[in-house]
Amino acid sequence: MAGQISCDRWLLRVSRCRARHHNAPMKARAGPSGEVARPVGGGAGRRGWRIAGIVLAVVVLLFAAAVVAVRRAYPPERLAALLSEQVTATTGRAFRIDGDLSIHLLPTIAVKANDIVLGNVEWGSQPDMIRLKQAAFEVSLRDLLDGRIRILSVEMDDADVLLESDGARQFNWHLAPRQREGGTRGQGIAVGRISVSNARITYRDGGKGVVDTVTVDALDLRPQGERQALSATFTVGSRQWKAEGEIGHIGELQAGKGEWPFDLRFATDGTAFSAAGNMGTGPRAGLLEAKLSARLDTAAALSGFSAAAGLPMPVEASATLVRAADEWRAESMQLSLGGQLLTGRVSFHAGASSRLDADLSSAAIDLAKWHIGKGVTKSPTAPSAHRTQFFGDTPLAFDALPPFPMQVALKVDRFDMPGTPTLSALSLRWASEPGGLIIEPLSFAAAGGEIRGRLSVALPKNAPPRTDVLMNAKSLSVEALDAQWGGGKHFKGGRANLDLKLAMTGHTPRSLAASSTGDVQLTMRDVTLTGKAAALDRDIVARLLEMLVPKQGRPDLVVQCGVAHLPLRNGVALIDRSIAMETSQLAVTASGELNLAKQTIELAFRPRVKKGLDLNPASLVQLMLVKGPLEKPELSIDPKGTVRQAANYGVAAATGGLSLLAPALLGGGAEFGGCDSAAKASSHSGKPQAPTASRGLKLPRPFSGVRQAMP
């Protein structure tokens, strides 16, 4: 019994010892001889490594077997045929590999091919849409073993891509999967990642014959959530651009089942552009809605666009662009040119009946900031060796009218143009087409007065342009006009009215002036002549008054009224006392000729003393002749033969205007009526009507309804 108990105790100690060794197998223990005993369990570790090596070897063998199996199951010829069949089914276009094809299983399963071609649509200008020098397709092994090819990614190098439209809302990049047996369609292309280098993309608009080419240096497109992230560098002309952003999946664009989203940003030196929105595909092809914004700091980015290369910098623009069918609309548009802002909307209808409509407004526009009209004003002391033409021979830009109808409504609170007074509350509507243009209504305020008018230009074939002008100006400040054109040295106070109706033909200002036919009538009241004769050397009117009318000790001379009526016939106005001025003591009338064709003037002025005033007629200049070129006429006092010339002009001229003044204005009789008679004479012309020559102006639609639509 005692021996049995001792044995049990021994077994218990052994089991406890083994348990301690099991809990700490890596701890070394020293034996009686000092040797370190290896931990128990080392054999199990070696067995684990042997098992792992066996598993690895099996995997390698299986992979090698798979490689051999794949290579034998899919030789290059079969792989090319399978790839061509798959791509043709998903794109609906012929696909072929004209060069070598190989398969690589490391590091991924990839198919490399040379000289790849994707066919174009039947109506395309060329048989091929895409030609690739080299491409590598990463494919799914599982799908390949099942006899299918699913492209995971593709890398393309040295590509030529032709994108084109037929001008009737058909585009060759809309790829339609071929219909299979049973009426089902193949699935669209689903490519995870696309990489392109050294590609040339050409766009051809078959409807307009426009061809543009873009060189893509590098492009990378990879999945990012529900969209694909895009980064690219490309070259247009001599400018390299960088693009980045997000777009919808290529498969969605190709499938054509709805709207394709995009959010892209483009940049080059001094230029940034962004576009975000949706583009219609499939049945909705051609529809577009996007928010656009752009900023250009230098004109270098527009070097390839001659029509826009002269825009004043910087240029900032933003709008919501909408395209529906053949109509493009820019809503909520803001366009800043050289720091001056235009807002409004623009719509353009393309197609067979193109048309542009715009409604624009601005708080302030100064044409000098846009480099328009600079140099119009001339220095009064600038010497000239040759005679300066008052009307030049530079052709007007009638040929610059767009080749489609255009209607533009413009409102500007403040408008400045070099050489003219500041205009305020400018409002006009422009309607033009290849046959001519009409600006009606035209209204603005200037020099404290109000101006309204109408301009029409007809462009008949095989004949010079015909221009009709109608203008009515009321209560213009003579002092403000003098400050603009004469430096403010000559006149103070006063108001002027102008009625103008002219018909003209020609391409240049000179030809227009030489053919002008109609009436011009200017009236003014209560104008004070200031300054001395020495300060009036450059102003013919002020010099004339200074010499004709004695001041008799008064510092200033007040012209109570003045009227000038010019009956123009083919650029010549024969004046029979239809130019007159009146002060409190006397009146001055003129007769002679104004010749716009020759750009000359020859007028004889005669003063008459009002009855009942203590003014000696002998102290007056009896006759004064103004003669010479319009730009710089000369004054002469009582020249020989002047009286005879004035009489001849009076006989030849058509009476009107101030010829209806009281006889006392001419001879000092008791019936002298003063400024009242001058006003009555002016009113005989009535409100200005369109010139007779304009009645033959027939413009096609849309001009027929312009006048009724205007207030």
| Residue 453: predicted pLDDT | 97
Helices (H) and strands (E) in the chain, counts: 12, 32
Helix/strand/coil for 378: coil
* Residue 443 host element (H or E): strand 436-446
Among the three residues 249, 269, 286, which one is the final residue of a domain in this structure? 286
Residue 426 lies in a domain: no
* Full-model pTM: 0.71
Residue 315 lies in a domain: no
> b/e map of 295-304 (b: 16 or more CB within 10 Å)?
bbeebebbee
- 616-630 tens-digit pLDDT: 565 556 677 888 898
Residue 9 lies in a domain: no
Q: Of 401, 470, 480, give the one whose Cα is nearest residue 445.
A: 480
Q: Do residues 523 and 563 touch, judged by C-beta distance below 8 A?
A: yes
Supply 607's token pair.
């003063």
d(CA 470, CA 518): 10
Contacts 24+ apart (CB under 8 A), 131-137: 131/159, 131/160, 132/156, 132/157, 132/158, 132/159, 133/157, 133/158, 133/159, 134/158, 136/110, 136/111, 136/112, 137/83, 137/110, 137/111, 137/112, 137/113
Residue 27 lies in a domain: no
Give the residue numbers spanning the domain of 164: 69-179+186-286
d(CA 117, CA 100): 13
Among the three residues 226, 260, 286, which one is the final residue of a domain in this structure? 286
The half-sphere exposure of 709 on its side-chain side, counting CA atoms within 13 A, is 13
d(CA 711, CA 701): 19
Among the three residues 233, 262, 286, which one is the final residue of a domain in this structure? 286
| Residue 345: predicted pLDDT | 97
Residue 8 lies in a domain: no
Residue 598 lies in a domain: yes
Structural domains counted in the chain:
2
Q: Flag residues of the chain having pLDDT under 70.
A: 1-45, 59-74, 76, 105-108, 141-149, 177-191, 207-210, 254-256, 301-309, 374-388, 486, 531-556, 611-622, 638-711
| Residue 598: predicted pLDDT | 92
| Residue 73: predicted pLDDT | 60
- 7 CB neighbour count, 10 Å cutoff: 10
Residue 465 lies in a domain: no
Residue 636 lies in a domain: yes
| Residue 65: predicted pLDDT | 63
Supply 178's token pair.
């071929």
**How far apart, in Å, are the Cα atoms of 338 and each of 13, 342, 368, 500, 571?**
100, 11, 10, 35, 40
- 33 CB neighbour count, 10 Å cutoff: 5
Q: Do residues 530 and 582 touch, judged by C-beta distance below 8 A?
A: no
